[in-house]
Every structure is written in structure tokens, then in C-alpha cells.
Structure 1
Amino acid sequence: MLEKQPYLGGRVGAWPDRLRDGSDVTMSRGFHAFFKQYYNLRHLLARTDPALERLTPVGDYPLIDGQGRADSFRGLPRRPPWNALGFAWRSPTFALGDMLRLNPRAAMPLATVQVSQVYERLDDLAADELLDAINFPAAARHLAFEVFSRSFFARPGDLSAAELAVMFHIYFLGSSEGLLFDVPTDTFAASLWDPLDSYLTDLGVKLRTGTSVDGIEPGGDLRYRVHTGDGPLDADAIVLATDSAGLREIASASPDLGDPAWRDQLARMRSAPPFVVHRLWLDRPLALHRAPFLGTSGWGPLDNISILDRYESEALHWALEHRGSVVELHAYAAPIDDQPDQAAVSDELVQQLYKIYPEAAAAQVVDSRTLLRQDCPLFAPGGFADRPTVTTPDDGIVLAGDGIRIDLPVALMERAATTGLHAANVLLARFGLQGHDLFTVPNHGRFQPLQRLARRSGSRADRS
């Protein structure tokens, strides 16, 4: 297994760092939520942690907008559609009049998702265009849907409405697990990747970190020759599990791989806007009632605040030793073109933190780290049909990752895990070996009256 970075985990990786005060810490690219619906990812992690004891639940996922209105996912009904209705009924951004003004016909695709039909119906629309058609109230849109849209590293106008509908299906009408989630009990390295490294090594896998792939060509002692910074490597079959830019670069450097149409398809893959992670080590704790994770909307570029010492062992030890706290601020789809923009966004994130959690303004910053990255896939309107699939024109080459198409209701880390398992299954079948079972939420809404209504509406539309 070849990994370009000196650490495992990709966008969920972690690496050692040292603060000005001499503290050894582990840095990462920021908070990730391990939702209960991430069945395939969780089964993968269970290979080294059968009871998933290295994950711990977060009790709530509160949201707050610029006017101070707050939503919560704690205590919602678990059965669809009462979970979604309960959230709307309890939200301060929904009024009875808003409910009455909703356009039920326009909202039907949200309630009756089927992959891949939902992409055929909605992919050409932007998420905000769908919400306009539904007459979704502006306040609720900003507090709920915009928070989730930006978790795809895109503004609502740049995100496919189909992707938004699938997200709504995964977390509400397609499952009873809801939007509460687990997080690792320690750093990503300690909780996830160090155990997996040992597990794979014990199986005889050779892991080569800090090794880039410079190109692939047919031939060599086996079927393919992979050119790396450490010399050539021959292989019978290959899984390319990279970000969009990495996949484009490898395809461009491998003119004999696949066919021209496929390489052109990869060249059209787009990356989402940049995002910023700004982590602070403070010399005093935040108020005890602060949530470990807070989603925000209407607070400038700030999209969420994480208090790492509330759930991560390493951060907790640092906070106890220094009587402080470790806080992380995220800005997704950040308005950044150059280095001064990055500094301005980081400063603005801190100012918004002080407004939301005023006690943070009294703390001294022991140290800080700012990361700017732009390597997430963009799920733009109209892009689904051109999204590359796991299989390729070459039956020995398969793709995996969260930017790769698979016609199942999965997203983000779970899509990466699911396409990875499917890629393995495709290759294993070539060698006559049994593959892995894949699990997802149902591929349709679980509330049958809505399904019947959608079928009748579709029949009437066909007749007209």
C-alpha cells in the first residue's frame, strides 16, 4: 500500500507536532463525525476494535445562527418521518405558517429518495434552487440545510440538489439513527490508524508512507508497473484511492492507462473551494456547559466550533496539565485566494469564537495552528453523470474515494469506505475470491404512505 503522506488516514490522518511551550501534540485536518449510518466504515474499524470502544458518542449536535436561534438533535423521535417532523416542530426557525406555505410537490423528492433516480430528477438543480421551489423558510434554510451543505465544502448554490436530497434521506427519512454521532476517543492516529497499521502489517501487507505515485503503465514483471519516488513497483491489480487532484495527476502521467475518454473524464473532476482549520491551545478552560461540537450559520466564515478536550484523550491531558482548553474552528468553502486572505479568515474565526463563547476572549493563546486545504471533491449541479465509477476501462484498475460514484445512499467518509470495499470486491472476483458484504440505509424512504403518494404523483405526471 502506497501513501503519499508520511502518515495514514488521508484527510482523516494525523501527524506529530510540538508547541512553543514544548508540548508534544498531534495535529490533524480537523473534526470528523462518525455517524451511526456509516455501517461500512464502522465494520472496517471493527477489525481492530470489535466493540468500537475507541469511538465515543457526542450527546448532541447543536446549531446556532447569527440571531442566536438554536436547534438541537437531542431527544428527537427515531422513527421516520417523525424524526424530521419533530425537528421542524421544535425548531425556532419553523412557524406553523411556514409549514403551510411549503410546496409538497416540490418537496416530494426529499421524502422519496431512490438512488440513482434522485440524481436523474434533481442533479441539474442547485441545492438552493430546490429549497426555493419548496418555499423553505429562510431562517431554517440557513440554520439547518446550509450547515449541512457546507459540510460538503460547498455553498448551497454550488451543491447538487440531488446530493442534498440524499443527505436528507441518509440522516432522516432513510434511517432511524439520526444526526447524533460518535467521535474517536483519542487522536485519529491513536484511535484509528496505528491499530490498522499493525493489523495490516501482521497480515503481511507492506505499507510505504511518504511515497508518491508518478505514473502507471502496463507491463513489468506483472500486469502493471507503478513508478514511485522510491523506484518501480509491479502489481497484478491496482486500487487508486486518491483525492480528485491526485487522480487527475496520475491519469495525466499514465497515457497508456484506460482510454482517452476515461482520462478526459478524470481531467474534468473538480475540487471544492478551500477550507480552513484553525486550532487554538488556550490557557484557561471554556465554560463547562459548552457543547463538544457546535454548528454555526451567520457568523461570518465560521462553520463550527469543536472543543477537543471534551472528547479527545490527548487534548484532555494537555488541558488538565495547563488548566486550559483545545479549541478548533472550521471555515468551509472559505473566501480565500492568497495568504493574506487566509490570515484574515483565521482572525475572523477567532473573533466569532469570542462572540459565541465570550469567556474565550479572556484566555491567552498558548499556541495555534492554521491549515488551508483544497482537496475535497465538488458535487456541483449536473456533475453526477460525469462522475467516475469504481470500475474503469481496464479491469485491473479500480477507483475508490468519496468523489467516486456508487449508486447507493452513502456520503462523505462512508462513500470512501463503501467504494473501497466495492473496489476490493471487483478485484477479488477476478481471482475467484469472495468479497465483502456492503450495508447501507434503505434505498428508498421508510414511510410507506409517502412512497405511495410519490408513485401516484409520478403516474399522474406521466399521464399528463
Structure 2
Amino acid sequence: MSQVFNSPESHTISRRALLKLFGVGAATGVLGYSRFTKPKPTVFQQDTLNLPRILNQQKSVVVVGGGLAGLACAYELSQRGFAVTLLEKSPQLGGKIASWQIEVQGDTFRMEHGFHGFFPQYYNLNTLVAELEISENFKSLNSYSVVYRNTKYKPEVFRPSHSAFPWNIVDLAIASPNRFRWGINLTKLKHLQVFQAIGGFEREKNYRRFDNISVADWVEEEFPRGLYDLYFLPFAKSSLNAPDTMSVAELMQFFHFYFFGNPEGLAFNGTKDDMGTSLVQPIAKAIQSKGGKIMTGVIVSEIQAAQGKINSLSYQVGNNTNNVPFWVKRNDNVETRHGASLQYYGAADEVFALPDGAQEVISLTCTHQGCTVKMAEDGKFHCPCHGAVFAADGKVLKGPAQRDLPKFKVVQRQDDGLQLIGANLNSVSPEIIQADYYVFATDVPGVQQLFRQINGDVNGVVRSPSGALHSVQSQVEKLSLADPFAVCRFWFDRDFEWQHSYFTSLSGYQLTDSITLYHRIQEQFIEWAKRNGGSVVELHAYCYKEKQFPNQEALLTTFEQELYEIVPELKQAKMLHRELVNQKNFSGYPPNSYAERPETSTNISNLVFAGDWVKMPFPCGLMERAVSSGLLAANEILHQEGLQRRSLLSVSPEGLLQI
């Protein structure tokens, strides 16, 4: 069945005619209807027949990956009668919205990978929340601010809206204290083209026109500087992709979804508690209530395939997972202590040190809280987060860490990469599971690793929009990662005055892109602050450059310096504790990547993909992109079984100013 958009509202005037009217200032009367009538979500319609919803025979599905994409897929299929098994590598579910327990001076908290906003146009995620009856787990943050280090720009404040484009632009201009600094001159052809490009989104045309250039290169030409400083730069980075490595087409899609095609405004909700408690656990319970099986701490060791299908999957749990080989790439950005003969591999929170001539590497992930240790001038590895010290061979010398740094054997070398395997192997046979369908819903490194574990031929061929043929495996291998992100959360012994929103985007700093006041959002921190009179503040760097910040010590130092600049009152406060999260696993959307991006369907009959790296057929972003991809994966399996697919929603699929 064809996949089409079915808009609840029809256009009474052609877009070309509307653009002409808009250009001569006569569009006000024509667009008055959209000014006072709130547009409805667009339905991504897939089925026109009334099909059965519940499976009437026994079918099984294995979902690999317990982030939002995998959880959404497993949820939908479990509610439809499938026997679902969900496998997650980490100790906890949730992926980038996972949470885990930490101890701070005798108190227990739940730590996360950074604050996430739940926007009103997250229609599919919000529908899931409504079905689970957990709306009370969220609270409105009422407004959203962007504060600029460059003092020539005053803070921007975004609030809920009831108008679609172009009235949301009009409202923004009226409310913006920087409206005379936008630098837009529509009598200039380049400026007019920019305005049309961001207001005339059309998915395939957009990617054909703009996917070959980076945002940084695009704005090098005659581009309204104020528009870039005020909106493009902070919002581009909030996609977790840096302007120099992000496709303009992807940014256009991002802007269309979050603003130009979005009638909801930019205010959003936050979770009253951590996201694991507020969202992940309810989804997991719903899966289990229908008989679904969830396993964490699982490593897939082998995938058997034959005749273009996956036949079985082998996995290991817990301490028996270190005999699964994996690849890491050379990292020349890590600074080496003078005189030390070490080569470094991996990135972010998974870095390995290889002494010259050695056949074993040492993991530099601290065994206390997962920070990356660094070799100091004394020749020992020091943890920058909590002070643990390890000898040059990885043995723990000083707590709070209690276990030595893990070691891995070098299996083989290839170009700038190493294949590693655990040095202390346990001879335990893996578990084998067979299913009718398999869903790969991991992050980019995870799905690439899964394809390396396949024995047999599943190299299905797909045709890109350009007509070129690509194998599924080559598509997966070409997936990109964004620059690493880092989050640092601080506990202080006093509160401070703050005139902006409790989550505020920051622009112009060397590292920091946002600040979150957790002691004014989440209950666990609100209660702690009431008892202690303190504050809990988080800084987030969305996409930093590893050459500028080659280790976590550099991250911590810069975060702390910038925090005291952002909130000078905290210079007089006592820092009680800090937690750092540093990872490189967010999907990258670089130029020329769209054509070969994998879709949900893989041309391997019993394998589907889900994740924010999947090519999406309608506008979406961040958490909504992950959830929507998971529901699309579930729909693909439902369709193969002749069941009614779930209706998915999005903002208007096209911009108003198409020409």
C-alpha cells in the first residue's frame, strides 16, 4: 500500500500564488484563517482498509536495543499479540534517556545523559504517553530562553504558540528584542533565497538541493549574520550536530519540524522525576504486562543468516560478555604524557591505551563511575572526576574505585583500527534465540557491530533515490557519528537568583550550550534543595571538538570556568559534588549522507531497522525521531502480517513558501 500524507485541511490557494501575494504584502487576508485557527497534526496515512489489529497466531520478535526506538517498537508489537524479547547491552534501559543511581554525600539520586525537552509537536511520543496514562509525570516549563554571551544580543524567550507559519515569524519578530539585528534584507537575492528555503520545505526536493553542503559552508556566503547568531547556530547545535559537519538539508528539516512547520511553539515539558522513572519504566512495564521479555547487560555474539534471512541470534549476559570481539579506531587527539609510549584508541567514554610493542590494551574507563582516566606526570592513571588512581598496568592504587582497569587482547590490526577481545575469558556457551522477526534498534556503533557479527549472506540490495544500488551492509557501514557530547552536573551548598527559564540555551561559549536548574524542575532535587538550601546545576555541551577537549579533565575544567561566568554568584558557593557524562554515540547527519541512509525496511524479509539514524518519511527530530522510527519498524512487521498499522502524526510535511 502506498504511503501518503493526508492533511486534515485543504489549501484554497496555490502556494505559488500565495508566495506572490506574500511578496507584495497582500497575504494578510488570505492567511487570516491560519492566524486564528490552530492547524491540526498531519496524519501519516498508511492503510485505507480496516484490517485486524491483534495477531491471531503465534509470532515472535527480537528487538536489539533498549533505547526509545527499541522500546517504542517492542511496546507496539507486544500490544498487538507478538511474543517480544528485548535485548539491551547496557545495565539499564533507555539509551540516551537512561538513568542510573549515584550517591552524593549520603543521598541517592538518579543521574541522566542530560536534560531533554518534550515538545508539544512530539505527537507520536505524546500519544504513547497518553496511552500509558503517565501524563502526570511531566510538567510544563512555560517558556524557553536563549541567552547569548555576545552582549549585543538580548535574551530571546519562546513561549507556546497558536499560530502556524508565517504568523509565528510575525509573533517572533514582535516579541524579539533583537528584531532589528536579524540582518534580513529581502531585496537581496541571497537573503530572499534563504527565507524561501527555510519556509518552503519539501522533503525530497530539500535533500536534493541542500544535502551536498554543510551548514558552516552555506552561511559563509551572504547570509544574515544576526539570523545565524540568534537562531541558526544555537538551534543547529541543539540537534547534537556541529554546523561544520551537518548537512544544510538536515538543518532545514530540523527547522521545519521545530519551528516553520510547527504550530505549537517552542515551550516544552520536562519530567517531574528522572526520565528512566518517568518514561522508560512505564514503557517497559507495559511490554512486560503483555508477556514481553526484557534483558539488560546483553552482548550479541553471533548472528546466523542464510538465504537472505536471519535464522538465529546468539547472546551472552553479565560477566560472560567479554569474549565478544569489537573494533576501535585510532585516536590521535588524546594527549600523551611526555615520555610515555602509548597509542590511544576509541573515543569519549570508551578509550583504550596500547603500550608500544604490547598485545594488550588497557581500558581507560574508571571502574567507579565510568569517567575516562588520564596518565599524569607521575606515570599513573588519574580519574578527573572522583580522584581514583591506577598504576600504569591498570591496577587500582586509590579509591573510590575498587576494581582494576579492564584489559583487552589485540586480536588483529587493520589500518587505523584494532579488534579487541577480553583478556580474561569465561568459557560459557552463549544462549541462542530464534524469532520470526528481528529489529536492530541500537545506536550507530551498535548496529555496525551487529553487522560484523553476521555469519552468512543477508546482503540485500536497495536502490537509492539517485538510482544507485547499495547493499544494506554498505549503508550501515557508512553511517556517521556526530561529535561527542558532554554533560556535567554540579551540587552546591547554596541557591542563586536566575531570571531566565529553568532550562536555557546558551550561545557563544567555548564549550557550554545549555544550563539546567534541576533543583527547580525534578522532585528529587527540589526536595534535596529544600533540606539543604543548595542547588543542582547542569551544563551540557552538545557537540564539542575532541581536539579542543582531548580528555575529561579538560572538559571539567572548562565547564567549571564557564559555569562561574554564567552564574557569578556560585563563585562564593562550595561545590559539594559533580558528575560528568561524556559519550560519542549520537547519530551524525553530514553532507551527502541522505541518499544512502538506511530506511526501516531492509530488503531482508525478517529484519527491520529503528533508530534516529534511519531515513524518516516525515519531519521529526531527536526523541520524536527515535520513537517514530520504532513505531515505523513495528508497522512494517504489522503490515507483513496483514494487521492494521498504527497511524503516525507529524507537523505539516511541506512548507508554505514552495516555488
Task: Note whether the superposition's TM-score is higher than 0.5.
Answer: yes
How much does 1:85 deviate?
3.4
Q: Distance in 2 between matches of 1:393 and 1:258?
A: 9
Conserved? CA contact 1:64–1:143, under 8 Å: no
Deviation, 1:78, is 2.8
CA distance in 1, matches of 2:310, 2:250: 37
Aligned counterpart for 1:254 among listed residues 440, 450, 454: 454
1:186 CA drift (Å): 0.7
Are 1:357 and 2:567 an aligned pair? yes
Give the letter aligned to residue 155 of structure 1.
Answer: A
Whole-angstrom distance in 1 between the partners of 2:552 and 2:589: 24
Q: State the partner residue of 2:203.
A: 115
Distance 2:245 2:432 in 1: 40
**Residue 585 of structure 2 corresponds to residue 375 of structure 1:** yes
Q: 2:272 aligns with which of 185, 190, 196?
A: 185
Distance in 1, Cα, partners of 2:238 & 2:164: 24
Kindly indicate whether the alpha-carbon contact (under 8 Å) linking 2:274 and 2:522 is maintained by their aligned counterparts in 1: yes
Aligned residue among 63, 76, 91 for 2:146:
63
Q: Deviations over 1:93-117 (max 9, x none)?
A: 4427822265212431211101122
Residue in structure 2 matched with residue 156 of structure 1 by the alignment: 243
TM-score scaled by structure 2? 0.65
Indicate whether 1:410 and 2:610 are aligned.
no
Q: Which residue of 293, 296, 307 maps to 2:506?
A: 296
C-alpha separation between the residues in 2 aligned to 1:273 and 1:76? 32
| Structure 1 position 85 matched with structure 2 position 170 | yes
Asked if 2 retains the 8 angstrom alpha-carbon contact of 1:94 and 1:140, the reply is no
In the alignment, which of 201, 206, 226 is matched to residue 313 of structure 2?
226
Name the structure 1 match of 2:124.
Answer: 40
User: Equivalent residue of 1:34, what SS?
Assistant: coil
Cα deviation, residue 92, structure 1:
4.4
1:13 to 98, 102, 114: 98
CA shift for structure 1 position 409: 0.7
Shift of residue 311, structure 1, vs aligned partner = 1.2
Select 2:484's aligned residue among 266, 274, 290.
274
The question of whether the paired residues in 2 share the 8 Å contact of 1:240 and 1:399 is answered with yes
Change (3 A) 1:193 1:66: same
Letter in 2 for 1:179: L
**Which of 1 and 2 has greater Rg?**
2
Query: Do the aligned partners of residues 57 and 257 (structure 1) sit closer, same or farther apart at CA in structure 2, a change above 3 Å counting?
Result: farther
Paired position in structure 2 for 1:30? 114
CA RMSD of aligned residues (A): 2.2
Shift of 1:340: 5.8
The 10-residue stretch of structure 1 (391-400 or 316-325) with the greater mean CA deviation from structure 2 = 316-325
Q: Which segment is superposed worse, 162-171 or 371-380?
A: 162-171
Shift in Å at residue 258 of structure 1?
A: 2.6
Aligned residue identity for 2:235: F
Matched, 1:427 2:640: no
- Provide the rounded CA distance (Å) in 1 between the counterparts of 2:637 and 2:159: 42
CA distance 1:203–1:64, change in 2 (3 Å): same
2:295 pairs with 1:208: yes
| Aligned counterpart, 1:461 | none
Residue 174 (1) aligns with residue 261 (2)? yes
Structure 2 partner of 1:49: 133
Asked if structure 2 preserves the Cα contact closer than 8 Å seen for 1:251 and 1:257, the reply is: no
* Structure 2 counterpart SS, 1:384: coil
Which runs of at least 4 in structure 1 moved beyond 4 Å after TM superposition? 337-340
The separation in 2 between residues aligned to 1:100 and 1:74, in whole angstroms, is 26
User: 1:93·1:140 contact (CA, 8 Å) conserved in 2?
Assistant: no
Q: Note if 1:399 corresponds to 2:599.
A: no
Whichever residue aligns with residue 444 of structure 2, its letter is S
User: Distance between the aligned counterparts of 1:33 and 1:96, measured in 2?
Assistant: 28
Q: 1:76 to 1:247 in 2, by over 3 A?
A: same
Q: 1:195-245, CA deviations, whole angstroms, 9 ceiling, x for partnerless residues? A: 2222211111011111122232237xx962111114111111011111000
Query: For this pair of structures, how many residues does the alignment match?
Result: 445
One-letter code aligned to 2:116:
H
The answer (yes or no) to whether the contact 1:104–1:134 under 8 Å persists in 2 is no
Aligned AA (2:95): G
Is 1:328 matched with 2:523?
no
What percent identity do the matched residue pairs reach? Answer: 30
Distance 1:338 1:128 in 2: 18
TM-score by length of structure 1 reads 0.91
Alignment-mate amino acid for residue 201 of structure 2: V
Rounded Cα–Cα distance in structure 1 between residues aligned with 2:571 and 2:614? 43
Alignment match, 1:146:
233
Distance 1:76 1:43 in 2: 20
Amino acid at match of 2:196: M
Amino acid at match of 2:209: R
SS of equivalent to 1:24 = strand
- State the Cα deviation string for residues 21-50 of structure 1 (Å, max 9, x = none): 111110110111111111111112223226
Does residue 74 of structure 1 match 2:159?
A: yes
Q: Per the alignment, do residues 210 and 337 of structure 1 end up closer, same or farther by CA in structure 2, a change over 3 Å counting?
A: farther
Residues 1:128 and 1:331: Cα distance change in structure 2 (over 3 Å): same
Q: 2: distance between equivalents of 1:66 and 1:257?
A: 54
- Indicate whether 1:346 and 2:556 are aligned: yes
Task: Return the structure number with greater helix share.
Answer: 1
| CA-to-aligned-CA distance 1:253-295 (integer Å, 9 cap, x gap) | 1142530721122111111111110011111112153421111
Specify the code of the residue in structure 1 equivalent to 2:440: L
Secondary structure of the equivalent of 2:652? coil
Contact 2:159/2:266, CA 8 A, preserved across alignment? no
Q: 1:338/1:210 Cα in 2 relative to 1: closer, same or farther (>3 Å)? A: farther
Does structure 2 retain, via aligned residues, the 8 Å contact 1:244–1:377?
yes
Cα deviation, residue 394, structure 1: 0.6
* Greater shift in the superposed pair: 371-380 or 331-340: 331-340
